[in-house]
């Protein structure tokens, strides 16, 4: 693969966009140049067999159905059997026609493509409208003529180079239009790292002839991950048959991916268009390898109904039985979707997925996120998680992580999870020029080291305590125990308490005369200077005061009186229920996270009762699944496991820096004054 070829062609095509300046917005450049790039690629591919296709089309009977026509003309085109064009035009002959007829002739040329290609250009790229806008702006001939000058035939530009070219153009157009390039483009070194991790130690499984491996990306974008996976697998075994599958929601990205698959000879029907989470185009299919970079922090509110319906009606028989994450982030929906497509045969499946930090720890015990993590851990599906450097994506500088999931763990990894902190300086290099938010990249040698650490299952005991640590799956679990402290209330009819009573809603619902009578009874029967330290004694005194005035009140009003005239007092006696058990003070309620592999009683005795002897555990607060005391939760806190203490700078150094800044500011102000 020639990087020079990629850069040269990208620069040339990029220069064509300059012809659009003034007539089109920068955000529209990509919508014009990208489909023309694909069109030129297909033209170069099909031109040598044009006459054969036309002759074959002429010989076909009129009653030939569409499926047979595609098969016969596809074979005649000799372009993977999926693409042909039976228009009389090519780019070269179009160039020889009257320039005033170019738009009409190009529409005829597009209409001559096989239905699968015609759909891409006319529906996803909306090329008819693009041609109209270019023609009205007087730019159509200039753009077309420039594309005629670039040779994109597969003998000049390989399929792999063409894939890189597409993605480089997408990145550039996204950047100038201030779009989120990361939605379309995952940095190449991240894709390679994820693929290498997926294939690590799989050389034997991929060797031999007649071996077929199915690879799937549920958010495939332009197909970059699928292409890199195929390239890496073919490097291990050139005789390997790699079947690629994907689905993409963005119309332009889908069109590019499907075009690329057709050009490479893959079955392009396996690249589907639509929302993977609501319209699974590969229902019932399973795959050997899956990889993806789903959108971060994107809410799924607008299509929540079918997802919730599937979760409720199908449970674990569907894709989302483990739980639903919060509506603001759907990353863990993609994780569950991919797990549902794991193979259950001897080959099993492996999954690589890039996500931000949210799926690691968002959501407490019992939440959708925690339950999904619990399901993955208890089913021993998580093999490793790799923390990547910050500032390596084009649209965000946040921390990202690669999760490696598998249902075919080797013996030594069973019940274990490897955490690798590859965020340190040893694993990244600064870029000479930033690209959006991307200021760092992972060099090849660092990528190889990460894969080695993973492949050799290195632990802190092997001298990698700051980089790689291995845990039992249960180490990430905990029980959230509800700890209560007894309610202690003192009672007094103070002016402030009486004012609070007047503001209480149940009291205000009484008739004015009844309010006055209750207040009178309270003031006369409960001396302001007296303070009751026992609720039962106060209740008796209150009842006697009301009885003395012949007043009967309902439970809500009585409760309002008790609430208004009470205040917490550590010296008061404990309030008890009708069974004599202490009532909890909800304001003092706390929760302790007890490690899952530790007895909660021993933990509470050591960590709670040693300091607050009167505290007690609410044993009715139980887990919905196992019925045990406390709710089970799972979280993976990288910072806790790889915390590095950084001592504060000396005060003298900070003081010197502040003085230098003050001097600099004073100098700048002096320049303004002068």
Q: Distance from CA of residue 201 to its chain's centroid?
A: 27
Q: 122-178, pLDDT tens digit by residue?
A: 988 899 999 999 999 999 999 999 999 999 888 888 777 777 787 778 767 766 654
- Confidence category of residue 603, pLDDT binned at 50, 70, 90: very high
**Distances from the Cα of 566 to the Cα of 515, 539, 547, 587, angstroms:** 19, 11, 21, 14
Q: How many residues does the chain have?
A: 674
Indicate if the pLDDT at residue 437 is higher than 60.
Answer: yes
pLDDT of residue 330: 92
110/39 Cα distance (integer angstroms) = 9
C-alpha closest to that of 123 among 302, 275, 277, 273: 273
* Tokens found for residue 472: 């039992």
Indicate if the pLDDT at residue 245 is higher than 70.
Answer: yes
Task: Return the SS3 of 563.
Answer: helix
Q: List phi, psi (to 5°) of 582.
A: -65, 140
Task: Return the SS3 of 468.
Answer: strand
- Confidence category of residue 594, pLDDT binned at 50, 70, 90: very high
Percent of the chain with pLDDT over 90: 64
pLDDT of residue 674: 65
Q: 255-274, pLDDT tens digit by residue?
A: 888 888 887 778 888 999 99
Indicate if the pLDDT at residue 396 is higher than 90.
Answer: no
Q: What average pLDDT does the structure give for the chain?
A: 90
Q: 637-661, pLDDT tens digit by residue?
A: 998 888 877 788 888 888 888 988 8
Indicate if the pLDDT at residue 81 is higher than 80.
Answer: no
Q: What is the mean pLDDT of residues 297-307?
A: 90
pLDDT of residue 177: 59
507/558 Cα distance (integer angstroms) = 9
Q: What is the mean pLDDT of residues 416-421?
A: 96
Q: What is the CATH number of domain 181-479?
A: 3.40.50.150
pTM: 0.84
pLDDT of residue 85: 92
pLDDT of residue 3: 61
Domain boundaries, the chain: 3-176, 181-479, 489-568
Q: What is the mean pLDDT of residues 277-299?
A: 92
Give, to the nearest 10 degrees, the angle between helix 512-525 and helix 535-548. Answer: 120
Q: What is the CATH number of domain 3-176?
A: 1.20.1260
Q: Distance from CA of residue 471 to its chain's centroid?
A: 24
Percent of the chain with pLDDT over 70: 96
pLDDT of residue 666: 86
- Confidence category of residue 527, pLDDT binned at 50, 70, 90: confident
Judge if 3-176 and 181-479 fold alike in CATH terms: no
Task: Return the SS3 of 599.
Answer: coil
- Confidence category of residue 183, pLDDT binned at 50, 70, 90: very low
C-alpha closest to that of 584 among 568, 601, 608: 568
Q: Which of 30-44, 280-294, 426-440, 597-611 has the lowest mean pLDDT?
A: 426-440
- Confidence category of residue 2, pLDDT binned at 50, 70, 90: low
Q: According to DSSP H, which parts of 177-223 are helical?
A: 188-199
Q: What is the mean pLDDT of residues 316-339?
A: 95
Q: 364-378, pLDDT tens digit by residue?
A: 999 999 999 999 999
Q: List phi, psi (to 5°) of 113.
A: -70, 160
Q: What is the mean pLDDT of residues 181-190?
A: 68
Indicate if the pLDDT at residue 1 is higher than 50.
Answer: no
β-pairing, 416-421 vs 468-472, is: antiparallel
Q: 541-566, pLDDT tens digit by residue?
A: 999 999 998 999 999 999 999 999 99
pLDDT of residue 308: 95
More confident residue, 346 or 491: 491
pLDDT of residue 237: 93
pLDDT of residue 295: 86
């Amino acid at each position: 693969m020639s990087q020079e070829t990629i850069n040269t062609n990208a620069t040339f095509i990029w220069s064509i966009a300059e012809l659009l300046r003034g007539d089109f917005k920068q955000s529209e450049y990509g919508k014009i140049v990208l489909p023309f790039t694909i069109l030129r690629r297909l033209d170069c591919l099909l031109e040598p067999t044009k006459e054969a296709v036309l002759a074959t089309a002429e010989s076909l009977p009129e009653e030939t159905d569409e499926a047979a026509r595609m098969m016969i003309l596809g074979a005649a085109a000799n372009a993977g059997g999926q693409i042909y064009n039976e228009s009389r035009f090519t780019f070269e002959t179009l160039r020889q026609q009257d320039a005033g007829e170019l738009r009409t002739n190009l529409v005829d040329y597009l209409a001559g493509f096989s239905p699968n290609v015609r759909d891409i250009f006319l529906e996803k790229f909306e090329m008819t409208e693009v041609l109209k806008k270019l023609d009205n702006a007087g730019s159509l001939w200039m753009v077309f003529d420039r594309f005629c000058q670039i040779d994109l035939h597969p003998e000049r530009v390989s399929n792999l180079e063409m894939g890189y070219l597409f993605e480089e153009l997408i990145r550039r157009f996204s950047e100038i239009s201030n779009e989120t390039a990361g939605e379309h483009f995952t940095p190449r070194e991240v894709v390679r790292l994820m693929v290498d991790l997926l294939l690590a130690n799989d050389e034997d499984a991929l060797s031999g002839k007649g071996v077929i491996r199915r690879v799937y990306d549920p958010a495939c974008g332009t197909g970059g991950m699928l292409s890199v996976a195929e390239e890496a697998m073919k490097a291990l075994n050139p005789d390997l048959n790699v079947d690629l599958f994907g689905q993409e929601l963005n119309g332009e990205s889908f069109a590019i991916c499907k075009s690329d698959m057709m050009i490479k000879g893959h079955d392009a029907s396996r690249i589907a268009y639509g929302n993977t989470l609501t319209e699974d185009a590969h229902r019932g299919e399973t795959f050997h390898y899956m990889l993806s970079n789903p959108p971060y922090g994107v809410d799924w509110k607008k299509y929540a109904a079918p997802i919730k319906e599937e979760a409720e009606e199908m449970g674990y028989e569907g894709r989302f039985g483990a739980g639903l994450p919060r509506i603001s982030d759907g990353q863990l929906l993609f994780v569950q979707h991919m797990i549902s497509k794991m193979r259950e045969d001897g080959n099993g499946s492996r999954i690589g997925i890039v996500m931000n930090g949210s799926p690691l720890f968002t959501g407490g015990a019992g939440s959708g996120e925690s339950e999904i993590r619990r399901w993955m851990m208890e089913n021993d599906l998580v093999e490793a998680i790799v923390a990547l450097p910050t500032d390596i994506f084009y649209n965000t500088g946040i921390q990202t992580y690669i999760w490696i999931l598998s249902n075919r763990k080797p013996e030594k990894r069973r019940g274990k999870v490897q955490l690798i902190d590859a965020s340190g300086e040893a694993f990244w290099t600064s870029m000479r020029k930033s690209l959006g938010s991307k200021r760092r990249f992972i060099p090849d040698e660092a990528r190889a080291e990460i894969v080695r650490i993973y492949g050799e299952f290195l632990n802190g005991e092997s001298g990698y305590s700051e980089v790689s640590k291995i845990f039992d799956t249960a180490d990430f679990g905990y029980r959230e125990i509800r700890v209560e402290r007894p309610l202690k209330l003192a009672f007094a009819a103070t002016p402030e308490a009486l004012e609070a009573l007047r503001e209480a809603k149940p009291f205000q619902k009484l008739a004015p005369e009844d309010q006055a009578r209750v207040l009178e009874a309270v003031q006369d029967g409960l001396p302001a200077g007296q303070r009751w330290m026992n609720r039962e004694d106060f209740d008796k005194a209150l009842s006697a005061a009301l009885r003395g005035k012949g007043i009967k009140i309902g439970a809500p009003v009585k409760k309002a009186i008790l609430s208004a005239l009470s205040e917490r007092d550590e010296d008061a006696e404990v309030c008890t229920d009708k069974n004599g058990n202490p009532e909890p003070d909800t304001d003092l309620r706390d929760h302790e996270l007890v490690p899952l592999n530790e007895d909660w009683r021993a933990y509470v005795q050591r960590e709670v009762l040693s300091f607050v002897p009167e505290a007690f555990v609410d044993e009715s607060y139980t887990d919905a699944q196992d019925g045990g005391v406390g709710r089970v939760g799972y979280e993976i806190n990288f910072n806790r496991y790889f915390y590095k203490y950084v001592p504060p700078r000396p005060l003298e150094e900070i003081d010197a820096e502040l003085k230098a800044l003050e001097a600099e500011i004073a100098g700048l102000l002096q320049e303004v004054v002068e």
